[in-house]
Structure 1
């Protein structure tokens, strides 16, 4: 008898829950915020990727201030932090004005790369210059170069155009540090 009562109670509860679920599914979807409509999805993707890249370069450079042994590498890292924090603030303000909140952290893949970089000891300086200085900046230069031509929003396009030369300078400086380190090994 108790089993039948318990089964009936469970079935009634499931029926009520299913009824509420059906109501939730038939409710009209929330209208998108007008601000969200200001940005094309490709423009939002650029802002997201740019924010994550900048956050990774800042985090990697802060790590370099702690772990790097070469004073030139530390000076480079400090410059990266200063420039990318400034660009990150501009990006966040721009994104917010367009109804989009830019990420405040590197992507999960980038976080894993930073974790691996942090595990290095003797080879840290070279790994930082190769991974953050050269590789990440090559990717950023490519991202911003493409955005300079392809994004639709004129303010986002202007941000990409203005930021690109600074990223190119960072890449050039990293390549010079890498070349110097490679020449010292010979």
Structure 2
């Protein structure tokens, strides 16, 4: 009886050990499938955003950045699309619902307001993407290789977006000074009538006030 129990325990242990690599492999496959799916959606989203920047952007720098986004993310999708079959996921054909919401919000803006909001969105978006791509790049295989190849492109986009966001903040803080009083307070030009995420436009200068450099306008972080 004891021998039979011992034999059963050995068989059970062997089965458990054999199953461990299979479980790990299954988890890796799920992670790769999700990454590939999200990467394709993200590339479609950036192409759409690139078109929007060329249409609604005020500065040539924003328009040029939009063209760069569309070109680079179109090339990235050409590389990642074939991987969807390898990881067993159906490739999406358009951006996600969240990406579409972001697009619609930005599409309502124009001029300098669009330039600033677009640059800030690209900073946030590319920071998030870089984190995901770095995680995927730490593995091995075709999916990791794609992530490794694409990371430098995303990092370059982030640097450009950060530069544009900083430059646009400075441009939007400048003005004739007619809206500034002796204490440097201002009515924010992007206050309650503008995008609430860009500032509340109260009398303390929170938001994008139009004023001379002599006044102090608190810029958004």
How many residues matched? 146
Indicate if the aligned counterparts of 2:32 and 2:87 stay in contact, CA closer than 8 A. Answer: no
Indicate the residue corresponding to 2:119 in structure 1.
129
TM-score (norm 2): 0.62
Indicate the residue corresponding to 2:186 in structure 1.
none
Indicate the residue corresponding to 2:90 in structure 1.
101
2:131 is the counterpart of 1:117: no
Indicate the residue corresponding to 2:62 in structure 1.
73
**Please, which runs of 5 or more residues in structure 2 have no aligned partner?**
1-25, 175-221
Greater relative CO (CA pairs within 8 A, separation 6+): 1
Indicate if the aligned counterparts of 1:145 and 1:160 stay in contact, CA closer than 8 A. Answer: yes
2:75 is the counterpart of 1:86: yes
1:159: Cα distance to partner? 0.4
In the TM superposition, 1:150-161 aligns within 5 A as 151=139, 154-161=141-148
Q: Return the match for 1:58 from 47, 70, 73.
A: 47
Q: 1:45 is paired with a residue of what secondary structure?
A: helix
1:183: Cα distance to partner? 2.7
User: Which structure shows the bigger proportion of residues in helix conformation?
Assistant: 1
1:94: Cα distance to partner? 2.4
Q: 1:81 is paired with a residue of what secondary structure?
A: helix
**Please, which runs of 5 or more residues in structure 1 have no aligned partner?**
1-36
1:102: Cα distance to partner? 1.9
Distance 1:175 1:62 in 2: 19
Q: 1:40 is paired with a residue of what secondary structure?
A: helix
Indicate if the aligned counterparts of 1:57 and 1:136 stay in contact, CA closer than 8 A. Answer: no
Indicate the residue corresponding to 2:29 in structure 1.
40
Indicate the residue corresponding to 2:200 in structure 1.
none
RMSD of aligned residue pairs (Cα, Å): 1.7
Indicate if the aligned counterparts of 2:36 and 2:83 stay in contact, CA closer than 8 A. Answer: no
Distance 2:72 2:85 in 1: 20
